[in-house]
Amino acid sequence: MILSGAIALVCVLVIVMVVLLTSGSRAVDASRDAAANSRIVRAILIDLREAQFAAQSVQLVYLLDRRRDRLPQFAYAKDQAEDSLASLGRVTEGYPELAALGAQVTSLVQEDFALMEAALRTGRRSETRDTDTDPRIRLGAVLPRLHAALNARIDVARAAEQRAQRSVEILALALAALSLIAAGLSIFALRRERDQWRLAQDAAESARASATASDLAKTRFLAAASHDMRQPLHALTLYLNAIGRRVQTDEARDIVAKAERAAHSLSGMFSTLLDLARIQAQVIKPEIEVFSLQDLLDRIVTENPGADLSAEPAPIEVRSDRGLLERLLRNLVSNALKHGGGKAHISVTTRDAFAEIAVRDEGPGIAVDDQARIFDEFVRLDGRASSEGLGLGLSIVQRIAELLDHKIGVRSAPGEGATFTVRVPIARGARSAAQNPRTLQPVSLRGVRILVLDDDPQALEAICGALTDLEAIVRACATEAEVMSALDEAFAPNLLVLDLRIDGALVGIDIANRALARLGGIVRAIIVTGDTGADTLATLRQSNHRWLIKPVDPQHLAQAAAELSGAAEATGL
């Protein structure tokens, strides 16, 4: 009974101490709020001075060139200054000294803007400038006083905070002593709670372990997201190709062709979204190859069916990274359609060993002074639609151009539209698009034995169907055990086609190497992957296997299978 009474008394004292601690904490918060309020005033003054300097710069430039298109910039700077003055009045309200100095600042800034507006109307500077009556000179005298008042207020706030903190510390010590008394009186109860505390500790450890496992799962998801999300596109592309082989009428073939183009466009946009962050972080290595420029331009035009976009024939082959160059040109076309009057035209001219690809629009044009900064991040020129985009398109164009070592240029003048150019090396000795069909030559895999491994049923069915359509003898496997079982059953493949990610792990190369070690001879392998991370691509390059990125173009798959299995030589390809 006595113990219970003592514990109750201690609890009452603890409650009193908590109330006192709360009061001290509020005092600390109040002093910190005062200091924060003073910092806000400093920030407002910085914004005010920036707006005033911007207006002064516009005035000086206007007096030199008399271009009226600079007046909106002055009006914008004035609005910014007025907003800052209004904020200054609100923040200093209730603090007489600061409010008085703030009122002087407001009066002087308004007087300064009035003189600048008069200069803009008359075309010459005011005679009061650079004299004792100049509001700028007077403002220069007021601002130090305001800063000194702010510093003094911050010092007072800090002193009050320190006093409040010392009070809180004293109260905390008292509360600690009181807690020791409560602990002594409650020792028996603590013993009874010991087991429950241990259980709580175990639960906390379990929660931390679960959180760590969750972070690891997120990491694995991000690593596999590209692969898993590309799988349906991969199967769709192969299924569309299989349908195209079976339709009989021209109308049906046209529909299938359009569906295939749409699937390829979707794949390209999806790849752009996945890879954009890696491009900006400079972790993507360019894959330089020779390809038809006409095919690339056709895809870009196809992706904009409702736009006023045209492209001249480009019967040449170039040497670059196909995907990065396509993204670069797609951004230029998008910029032209958004800001260039809704119309764009692509032309190609050859100069020396380079092809100059030009994207021309019929928009308002770009002033010479603005042409250097349009490639900066978050830049949108005056008069352009501010609601469209973040001003990153041309910045990304420049980053990709630097990555590929391609020169970017712009030719424009106000009222004459704009032309953006990129110089790409021509593949000397390569066949031109005019001399060769843009589609690969038909391939036959008649009699070629191919073992296919993919743990995704749809992808496995689609890729086996595509190879079977080419008259190959295909053995489908979903696991490594099925691959080894097929080899045990004397299925002697001429070629292996394996997905890189099996059961969530990047083990396709290892499975291929183990299978090839059993087969011996000159059997080759193709690795198919939807993982496009820098580390994964580096591993593929070092594997000495041919590899294709999902969604795989059926013609590229057929061509690779023919080359590696020897069917290409047999058919004369």
Digit-by-digit pLDDT tens for the chain (573 residues) are 545 655 665 566 667 566 656 766 666 676 677 677 778 888 888 888 888 888 888 888 888 888 888 889 888 988 888 888 888 888 888 788 888 888 888 888 888 888 888 888 887 766 666 666 788 788 878 888 888 887 887 777 777 777 777 776 786 777 677 666 766 766 766 677 777 888 888 888 888 777 656 544 444 444 455 566 667 777 787 888 788 778 878 888 788 878 876 776 666 556 555 655 556 555 567 888 999 999 999 888 887 777 888 899 988 999 999 888 998 998 899 888 887 778 899 999 998 889 999 999 988 888 887 777 777 765 566 544 444 444 567 878 888 888 889 998 898 888 888 899 999 999 875 444 333 434 446 778 889 999 999 998 988 999 999 999 889 999 999 999 999 999 999 898 999 999 999 988 889 999 999 999 988 767 899 999 887 776 787 788 888 899 888 888 788 888 889 888 876 554 544
How long, in residues, is the chain?
573
Q: Long-range contacts made by residues 20-24, C-beta under 8 angstroms, separation at least 24?
A: 20/171, 21/168, 21/171, 21/172, 21/175, 24/164, 24/167, 24/168, 24/171
Residue 495 sits at φ, ψ, to 5 deg, of: -155, 145
Task: Tally Cβ neighbours within 10 Å of residue 153.
Answer: 18
d(CA 509, CA 515): 10
- Taken in order 71, 75, 77, 81, the sign of the CA dihedral is positive
Burial of 224-256, coded b for 16+ CB within 10 Å and e otherwise, reads bebbeebbebbbbbbbbbbebeeeeeeeeeeeb
pLDDT at 41: 81
pLDDT at 227: 60
| Residue owning tokens 């007096």 | 63
Task: Tally Cβ neighbours within 10 Å of residue 280.
Answer: 14
How would you class 321 by CB atoms within 10 Å of its CB: exposed for 0-12, middle for 13-18, buried for 19 or more?
Answer: buried
Residues 6+ apart with CB under 8 A from 383: 364
pLDDT at 215: 45
Whole-angstrom CA distances from 67 to 59, 63, 64, 70 are 11, 9, 9, 6
Whole-angstrom CA distances from 265 to 196, 425, 537 are 60, 25, 23
Candidates 50, 38, 47, 59; CA nearest to 123 is 59
Task: Tally Cβ neighbours within 10 Å of residue 41.
Answer: 23
d(CA 113, CA 80): 12
Q: Are 161 and 32 a contacting pair, CB within 8 Å?
A: yes
Task: Tally Cβ neighbours within 10 Å of residue 459.
Answer: 23
| 3-class DSSP state of 142 | helix
Whole-angstrom CA distances from 551 to 35, 477, 560 are 59, 20, 15
d(CA 318, CA 328): 15
pLDDT at 426: 92
Whole-angstrom CA distances from 200 to 183, 189, 416, 568 are 20, 17, 74, 69
d(CA 483, CA 173): 73
Residues 6+ apart with CB under 8 A from 243: 256
Half-sphere exposure of 368 toward its Cβ, with a 13 Å CA cutoff? 0
First and final C-alpha spacing in the chain = 101
d(CA 399, CA 203): 50
How would you class 26 by CB atoms within 10 Å of its CB: exposed for 0-12, middle for 13-18, buried for 19 or more?
Answer: exposed
Q: Are 54 and 78 a contacting pair, CB within 8 Å?
A: no
d(CA 4, CA 182): 11
Q: Are 241 and 263 a contacting pair, CB within 8 Å?
A: no
Whole-angstrom CA distances from 380 to 394, 398, 415, 555 are 10, 16, 17, 42
DSSP 8-state secondary structure symbol assigned to residue 439:
S
Crossing angle between the packed helical segments 322-339 and 393-404, to the nearest 10 degrees: 150
d(CA 515, CA 242): 29
Q: Are 504 and 224 a contacting pair, CB within 8 Å?
A: yes
Residue 278 sits at φ, ψ, to 5 deg, of: -70, -35
DSSP-H helix ranges across 425-524? 457-469, 480-488, 508-519
